[in-house]
Amino acid sequence: MPDTVITDKPLLDIKGVRQSFPKGSGEDLLVLDDINLTLRCGEIVGLLGRSGSGKSTLLRLIAGLSRPTAGTILYDGVPVRGPAPGIAMVFQTFALFPWLTVLENVAIGLEALGLPEHEIRKRALSAIDLIGLDGFESAYPKELSGGMRQRVGFARAVVVHPKIMMMDEAFSALDVLTAENLRTDFLELWSDGQLPIEAVLMVTHNIEEAVLMCDRILVFSADPGRIAREIPVALPHPRDREDPLFRELVDSIYVEMTARKPRPTVRSDRMAGTGIALLLPRVGPNTMAGLIETVAGYEGRADLPEIAKELNMEIDDLFPGADALQLLRLAETEEGDIRLTPIGRTFAEADTEDRKRLFARQILAYVPLAAHIRRVLDERPTHQAPKSRFRDELEDHMSEDYAEHTLRTVIGWGRYGEIFAYNDQLEIFSLENPT
Amino acid sequence: MATEPMPTSMTTRPSIPSIWDVAAFAIVVALFAMIATAAQQMMRPLAVLDIVPVSLDPWNLPEYALRTTVRMFAALAVSLVFTFVYATVAAKSRRAEQILIPILDVLQSVPILGFISLTIVVFLSLAPGRVLGAEFAAIFAIFTSQAWNMTFSLYQSLRTLPEDLDEAARSFRFSSWMRFWRVEVPFAMPGLIWNMMMSMSGGWFFVVAAEAITVGSTTITLPGIGSYIALAIEQRNLAAVGWAILTMAVVIALYDQCLFRPLVAWADRFRFEQTPGDEAPESWFLTMLRRSGFVRAATAPLRRAMRWTFRRPAQGENSQNPAARWLRSPWTDRAWAAVVGVLAVYAAVRLVRFIGQSLVIDDVVTAFGLGFLTLIRVSVLIALASVLWVPIGVIVGLRPRLAQRIQPIAQFLAAFPANLLFPVAVFAIVHFGLNPDIWLSPLIVLGTQWYILFNVVAGASAFPSDLRDSAINLRVRGWLWWRKVVLPGVFPYYLTGAITASGGSWNASIVAEFVSWGDQRLVARGIGSYIAKATEAGDQPRIVLGIAVMSVLVILFNRALWRPLYRYAERRFRLA
């Protein structure tokens, strides 16, 4: 609503919100820490961050689906206790009821409000019309394409005339063209003031999407999730992706998000984050090799946004890959660029066998957990060790989930480098590679 | 904006009744008339049963079939109510769950046939001197054969509701009543309907036993197909058995056409997989009901009333009052565990005392010995049935057109009460002078082996064609193909079938180890015949002991074999 100037009246006022979950050993896992934000009438605010930065958790807190461990969330001046009227959510997975038609799916939110039947029909049909679903009223969700399904998701949220619409990665389950089409349509309706909503809060991990849609972007850092920076976007709508100002902003956010050099450490106290508890990016060796080859194709130094575009990768896929290369000293990132190290260059030119040897050397040198597993196997006369042994060690430092993921990652790496073998049936590490 | 044409489903139809209306009207009115007649019969005094005894005249069969049908549907209705209450409580309350689910697990394993004689006394006293009491007992017996798997199905669905649907429902502030009917029940519907079908199939087996109820010296015979068969067996009337089988076939076909096929077709929309995937099931009966304006008009007020109940605005359900916090404290947990423990110990003491009144430890040892014999019988026969039906099921399942024809037949055979064929076996065993300990055994799987067949057929039909193609491409053939390609692929389906078959076989042992044809009687040694004999003699402590021993063995068998296998199959062989 460009006509309505952004007013000062905060629709949503969040102060000092923390969220933690109990984990296996003792202390809690901190997911969100010291979150402060306000949302005013007429603005679209984006929460941008990698997966695991707690942005979806924050959205669920605001939606009243769960409650924060500490801090206050005021909606329209009233603390949020349970789902509030006037906050509607659009889900990444659409979350449509498969047994209801499009019309029924849209109407159901109004039914819950207890409106009279003719009012429900009138409003549902007009929302369907507005979102461009007319003709599909009696179709079931399974008959629709992903894009049309998400339109139903939007219509269902719009129809209750919410003050705040929340989008939880609403476009990320769609293909590139469909997502763009839906974004443009939404922005058009929003700019024309046709949507009966006052503000939008959206979670995304797509930097371009954030710059395209938002008036303000809050960049999250991970472990625990914190708001690292607030970036206002002053470009007028409709925004042009090729506009140099647009590109510049996207680049600067890339820089912002790659700048935090020291990998966020787990629980800064007691040596965590280093040693065997070093958090490993969840990336497979093939993705790493692919990324190295791509960067080698750019003479060993490339712009991350450019690579993201070429490989059609979102930051959730790209950043962990870059992190992994950096951890293994195969590449370095700085200022939104990625550059191969000499070892990285050697890797790019080597054949399969040499690559494996090189990879083995790097993980033994720079992944303490891999080196630790190898050492244990070497020391034992049987050259065998159960997975549980290492899982227990890891769980002293991290949650069960993280321990499991970390082990999975190290198993994938170790197998590729052939520094140990692993039997998933027996859950046993060993040195015997089948010959 | 709101000048859109109405969606097609909403356009008004011509008010002149269509052919569909006439047909639907006729069927609905006929149904009501039938139920009314049957209900009237039930209210009569018990003495009527002696004045108008069951006769073997085939012309009586339609009426008997009707009365049996009413009984089965009454039991199904009770099962549904039970399912909704029990499963919902178990799924919503953690503490209730802790006791309700194990109890359900045990109930599922208890041999129902043993129950009948224990419960009839109670029900007869509820409506003294009226047929109704005996009817209640029969309905209860059928109910106990239907309810448990339905309850488990609903409970599991409620626990596995996708999180995003739950969050959507909550963020749109559905009241919990509305959430239940608009989200949770629809999600559970396909599983529930499938289990209703299984239950109805299983119910037939018990109808035969439940309509001719013996309490010590007196036998109450309720008019129905079951009692007709019992009489035919007593009088060695083969023709009458034939008529009964024919009637039953017709009734099962009618159930399928007028109830289950429409239900399955209707429930197709509740399937959660959102792919336009396979062919949707169809049903002429459902089409008729859907096209009929009469049915729609008749159900509209109901639907409106239901919607009206959703209007209650959602309360702040997350509000944390002190009582809720108190309920959640670990001390309440401990107190709860203590109460449950004391109750369990008390029940165990009562049980031991009851059995101990007239029985000694030797009886227990004997019962376990016999139980072991039945255990061997069940295991061996399930294994034999598997060796036979798995290859056949695979061969059939990989040929879609053949599978389409075989599948309904297999399901029909599974629904067919195999005890009808027992007289033939008696005849043969006596004629050839065979050993009943061995030759009665096949009767145990006679009715249940089909579960293995149709589950394997389903599994083989669902086997991905790209895997088949790649096996052909790699020239994988013969034993290697069976071992590495297709058997792992159908294994989870096979297990589902084998578990069902094994459960049914335990139950069947009560009738299969103790068979009669007129005054000829054959007994195989086992826990089934032990219970059957005790029932005939009205020996309550032995019935209870027999039931307890069988339950223990079934539960052990499930825990030690089926459950680990199932988990293994889930992990290794599930084709995502």
pLDDT single digits (tens) B422-470: 777 887 888 888 888 888 888 888 878 888 888 888 888 888 877 888 7
∠ Cα A359 A365 A369 (to 5°): 95
Distance (Å, whole) CA B194 – CA B264: 8
Residue B191 has pLDDT above 50, yes or no: yes
A interface mutation test: which of B177, B274, B290 has the most A CBs within 10 A?
Answer: B274
Q: Which domain holds residue B466?
A: 359-576
What mean pLDDT value characterizes chain B?
79
Do A165 and A251 lie in a common domain?
Answer: yes
Cα–Cα separations (whole angstroms), residue B248 to B27, B204, B243: 20, 9, 9
B38: Cβ contacts below 8 Å, ≥ 6 apart: B66, B67, B70
Tell which of B254, B270, B286 closes a domain: B270
Do A307 and A391 lie in a common domain?
Answer: yes
Q: Does B172 touch chain A (CB under 8 A)?
A: yes
Global pTM?
0.77
Q: According to the model, what pLDDT value does residue B79 have?
A: 93
Do A154 and A17 lie in a common domain?
Answer: yes
Domain count, chain B: 2
CB hemisphere CA count around A378 (13 angstroms):
7
Distance (Å, whole) CA B517 – CA B275: 54
User: Is the model more confident about A113 or about A153?
Assistant: A153
Structure confidence by residue, pLDDT tens digits, A271-296 = 334 577 787 888 888 889 988 998 98
**Residue B1: its chain A contacts at CB < 8 A?**
126, 129-130
Q: Which of these, A309, A331, A332, A318, lies nearest to A283 by C-alpha position?
A: A318
**Residue B265: its chain A contacts at CB < 8 A?**
none
Q: Which two tokens stand for residue B261?
A: 């096929």
**Bridge partners (DSSP) listed for residue A46:** A202, A217
**Residue B316: its chain A contacts at CB < 8 A?**
81-82
Contact criterion met (CB below 8 Å) for B91 and B158: yes
Domain count, chain A: 2
A112 and B270 within 8 Å at the Cβ level: the answer is no
A99 and B186 within 8 Å at the Cβ level: the answer is yes
Cα–Cα separations (whole angstroms), residue B530 to A110, B506, B521, B550: 61, 13, 14, 10
Do B382 and B247 lie in a common domain?
Answer: no
Whether cis (ω within 30° of 0) applies to the bond prior to B408 is: no
Do A232 and A310 lie in a common domain?
Answer: no
Q: According to the model, what pLDDT value does residue B133 have?
A: 79
Residue B9 pLDDT class (50, 70, 90 cuts): very low
Q: Residue A408 carries which side chain, given as an amino acid letter?
A: R
Distance (Å, whole) CA B271 – CA B292: 25
Sequence-distant contacts of B93-98: CB under 8 A, at least 24 apart: B95/B333, B95/B336, B98/B336, B98/B337, B98/B340
Rounded average pLDDT over A370-374: 91
Q: Does B189 touch chain A (CB under 8 A)?
A: yes
Rounded average pLDDT over B290-317: 68
Structure confidence by residue, pLDDT tens digits, A26-50 = 567 788 888 999 999 999 999 998 8
Cα–Cα separations (whole angstroms), residue A159 to A75, A86, A110, A127, A189: 20, 11, 8, 6, 14
Q: Which domain holds residue A366?
A: 275-430
Do B228 and B103 lie in a common domain?
Answer: yes
Do A306 and A425 lie in a common domain?
Answer: yes
Determine how many CB atoms are found less than 10 A away from the CB of residue A7. 12
A129 and B310 within 8 Å at the Cβ level: the answer is no
Tell which of B270, B300, B327 closes a domain: B270
A99 and B178 within 8 Å at the Cβ level: the answer is no
What residue of A is the nearest CA neighbor of B270? A99
Distance (Å, whole) CA A373 – CA A358: 18
Return the C-alpha torsion angle B164, B166, B170, B171, nearest 10: 10
B171 and A85 within 8 Å at the Cβ level: the answer is no
Q: Which of these, A250, A204, A237, lies nearest to A45 by C-alpha position?
A: A204
A75 Cα to chain B: minimum distance (Å): 14
Residue B23 has pLDDT above 80, yes or no: no
Distance (Å, whole) CA B232 – CA B68: 16
Radius of gyration over alpha carbons of chain B, in Å? 26
Residue B312 pLDDT class (50, 70, 90 cuts): low
Which of B7, B164, B312 has the CB atom closest to A138's CB atom? B7
What mean pLDDT value characterizes chain A?
85
Rounded average pLDDT over A13-25: 80
Do B369 and B221 lie in a common domain?
Answer: no
Q: Does B4 touch chain A (CB under 8 A)?
A: yes
What residue of B is the nearest CA neighbor of A166? B171
Do A237 and A345 lie in a common domain?
Answer: no
Q: Does B563 touch chain A (CB under 8 A)?
A: no
